[in-house]
Amino acid sequence: MILLSAQTYLSFFVVVSLIAVFISSVRSYRATRRKLIQIKQKLESDISVAQMMQSEQRISEFLKTNRLQPGVSIQIIADKLNIVEGGVQEDLTDRAWLSGPNENGKMTVVFKKGLSEEDYHFDFAHECGHLINGDPTPATRPEGYNKPQAEQLADYTGAALLMPFNKVCDFLDEHDYEKSSRRQKQILIRKLCDKYTVTEIIALRRIKEVYTLSLIHI
């Protein structure tokens, strides 16, 4: 009788453990699925190939006019645009905000508190992108998805300033990115992140953009 009770208890314990594992697996699956959806949303863009090409052309003309090389630091680009960094602003709701010009023609970018180094770096490039695109100031770098097209274009231009087309294209060709395994691609993406101080989302989106444009040989 004691043995039977022990067996019953053991069976009950096994069943409960299996249920717990199942529930945990379902929750993990749902969390993973939500994360993948968020990544997909961040990678999506409503700008056309023609708009990408126009942005690349604007960047090329800006660099040539100012005698700068592709890949020059974003601080040097900002200096040519009369943009200065204004540090963190405690009550800022957007990730970054670019002021209009002051009496000396200088514009200031302030940042939301708590940004990572990569986000800070990209958001500064985003605001530079607004000016290169010819957008009016003040301008912002808002949170979230489904942003206005002007913000998506500034995202594109900011990424292209930090990660020049030819340099990224050469990197992908050199490491045979398309034929690499999933693990090898993760390593290469990490290298791009470290090289250009960007997040994985920015690196992945730029890879997608570069491959899209390379098909039409810009």
Give the pLDDT confidence score for residue 141 in this predicted structure: 84
Give the pLDDT confidence score for residue 43 in this predicted structure: 47
Give the pLDDT confidence score for residue 6 in this predicted structure: 57
**Residue 83 near residue 109 (C-beta atoms within 8 A):** yes
Q: What is the pLDDT of residues 13-48, one digit of tens each?
A: 566 666 766 666 555 444 433 433 344 444 466 799
Q: What is the pLDDT of residues 80-102, one digit of tens each?
A: 999 999 999 988 989 999 999 99
Q: Is the pLDDT of residue 2 over 70?
A: no
* Partners of 199 in the β-ladder: none
> Is 30 contained in some domain?
no
Amino acid in the structure at residue 58? R
* Phi then psi dihedrals of residue 71, to 5 deg: 95, 0
| Across 171-186, average pLDDT | 95
- % of residues, the chain, pLDDT over 70: 78
Listed residue (73, 53, 75, 57) closest to 65, CA to CA: 57
> Is 10 contained in some domain?
no
CA gap 218, 214 in Å, rounded: 6
Q: What's the predicted TM-score (pTM) here? A: 0.79
Split into its structural domains, the chain has a count of: 1
138-158 in b/e burial notation, b at 16+ Cβ within 10 A? ebbbeeeeebeebbbbbbbbb
> Is 95 contained in some domain?
yes
> Is 4 contained in some domain?
no
Give the pLDDT confidence score for residue 216 in this predicted structure: 75
**Residue 211 near residue 165 (C-beta atoms within 8 A):** no
Give the pLDDT confidence score for residue 147 in this predicted structure: 82
> Is 190 contained in some domain?
yes
Residue range of the domain that includes 135? 49-214
Top pLDDT among 139 and 68 is at: 68
Residue owning tokens 């101080």: 197
Pinpoint the alpha helices (H) of the chain: 2-43, 49-65, 74-80, 117-132, 149-162, 165-174, 182-196, 200-214
